[in-house]
Amino acid sequence: MRLIGLLLLAGAALSLALHFTGAPEDFYRWSYHQLLSGLDVPREPSQATVDAVGNVSLIGGLVELAAGTALLAWAALRRA
């Protein structure tokens, strides 16, 4: 459990660092194309879509942070 918690914290650090350093809009556009490749979607995403991808990244980072912290706390309590 400790390893999973640490991996979640590492993922959260990466996600939040990208968000708070102002990850370039091109990165979010690249993510859009990679995630939806092969689907019938517009070639260029709208600004609202780019904003939504950024918000999902932020929320995902916060969820990873909470889950990683909870798992590490649980693992520490089990050891005590």
Q: pLDDT digit string (tens) for 1-54?
A: 889 999 999 999 998 988 888 777 777 777 777 777 777 777 777 888 778 878
Residue 62's pLDDT is: 96
3-state helix, strand, coil in the chain (%, to 5): 80, 0, 20
Helix residue ranges per DSSP H, 2-46: 2-20, 25-35
Number of domains present in the structure of the chain: 1
Residue 13's pLDDT is: 94
More confident residue, 56 or 5: 5
pTM: 0.76
Provide the domain limits for residue 35.
2-79
